[in-house]
Structure 1
Amino acid sequence: MKFPREKLVLFSLRAEFVDLQNLLNFSKKHRAFKRSFYITINYPDSFDILLVRQGELSKIIRIAAAENKPPKEVNLKDVGEKTKHTDSSIVNMGFVDDQLLAMINADLEDQNVVRETDPSDFAPAELLKELSTQQFSGILSVRRRSEKSYALVNEGEFALVYLASGGRNKDDFIKYLNQGKDEISVKILREIPEDASYATSAQVELLVTSTNRVLEEFSAILGRNIVKKITEISLKGVTKEFDFFNSFKITDEARIEGEPKVDTDSLTRGFASFFNMLTDSLSTISGGRHIAVLKKALQDYRFALNNLKFFEFVKEQIF
């Protein structure tokens, strides 16, 4: 079974060459691996999927090849016994964000299922119209041959898309459905796990990195101490409206650090508000150079930020 992922870390390794316990212990101790991922183990008659959230093993689910057998939760010892007595067991490992991990978990738990379609009665256009009309909120779990893909829908609008083939937006999802409609089944779940409603780690990283790039450019012109002081004042101000900024701190290098748990819209609006406060102060003391500095700092991030609709909430016309 192939699931979506951000990055494939292990690919088609024989299980006897992978020490799962050591791998899980390693993920707890080392920062680079202290993140969410899954490990799949394919057997001739079934497969196991280990769900790991922020370095901690959350759950192991075994799914039989026979469709009439429901998924069941197993433990690490069961996995060890299975791999020991199976000649051909193949291991894959993929990094994912918490949102996708939550959707995979909800799908495999198989609860809160509204209905399921099969290839014989699947009409993509009708399904999408129905979701929009009903302002449906929940998860779409899409199976196409040996692939699993997911979409999070919030009040009829697509919030997140994860395709096994790599697509990440609504257009990719619709194209995927139409191209494979004769071999696609869809499970509709009326559930939005809490983690799935949060902004993705990539979205957080984008906004933090681009903000730090701005601070770096202004520090080179105005000096680090001045920029750090302005950042502290702006952070204190924006926290009154967007409390997720309580999770942020300012380093001695005048950079911000934090891992907020907040929805994408609030994250984007909050960072735009923070950005507005920063630039109001920085523009006053930069002698009218602030637009040129902002352009230089954000040039590499402009398209990704535009996709988040970040510039819609920013007061300055930068690009």
Structure 2
Amino acid sequence: MDMEKKNLIAQWAFDCRPVLGRFHLWLVDVEESWSKGEPEKGFSFVPQGLEKAFIMALAVTALGTRLFGKYGEGKGKDKAQVNRIKKDADAMSAYALSEALWYLTRGLPENHAVMVSIGEGLMPKGGETPDMGANPLLGFGRVYARPQVARFLDRRVSWLINDPNFTWDDFYQHIRAANITLWGAAVDTLENTTRFAVGEPTGPLSVFHLFDQPLRISRPYEGYMGTLILPKKVVETAAFDSILINYHTPREIVFKAIRKTYPQIPPERIHVWTLGGQNRVQRIGTLWEQWRALGVHVCEDGYLLPWTGLRVFTDSGTYAPVFAVGVHKDKEGNDHL
């Protein structure tokens, strides 16, 4: 191992010592890779050391959940047993991330705090067992900061939720008057619990988004959103023709923008990865038919992506398709979108 590699490991171990120390972990090796370039001084508003600690917190959450979250134990079990295992996995992931956040935020700059505003943890979903009860969006605390800062924010979060006369503007002004910097987080400690519970090799993720401001604050709720993810070039091509592309744009118009952007790609090599299954026909079946009428390939469950060797799954929603969006070449050199 050369000196540069040793220094890289040492820097990560030093910056991540609160997380590694809490879970009694020894950092043996580190590999860094960047999807877009390589920034010289970090890639966000968070100090470089804290960036590494947040990344490590997610890595520890993923590892701990895989080892102790009953991965694959729901295979062949009935729905009630699978739901029980899913809740256990959720609890493990929520515990791991909560502990990691608590320890790493001891090193936040003065008067800074991280508040988990949106997320999932131990919250039961429709049709699942209600025995765990409903928690406020997450199975762990919302505010991570030094005690005096956390207590200050916790009181105001309570007022914001329970006092109709205390508004978001009041909340914001109180934070400004106290010179507190509040970072908002959106978390899913274990995305795709069903696939995790039955032992599928792809799908489960630990997700942590950090923003430089607080997000929505409310009582527990559950919602579902439809998204249309396209390459930036397609959206820009449509914009030049004064067309706004969003989820509600008729798919024929989206298709025309795709063909204008990538004229070399025929319809059959345009692949749409979307949720599938009989229970979703009523909700989004019309979208499938719009795409198929244009000659586009709507991916079936188990379809092998020609450029990755991974199989598509359509049984549950996930972040995974986002990472596949773009132009790819197959073994014959043909472009696919």
Does TM, scored on the shorter chain, surpass 0.5?
no
| TM-score of the pair, normalised by structure 1 | 0.26
More helix by percentage: 1
| TM-score of the pair, normalised by structure 2 | 0.25
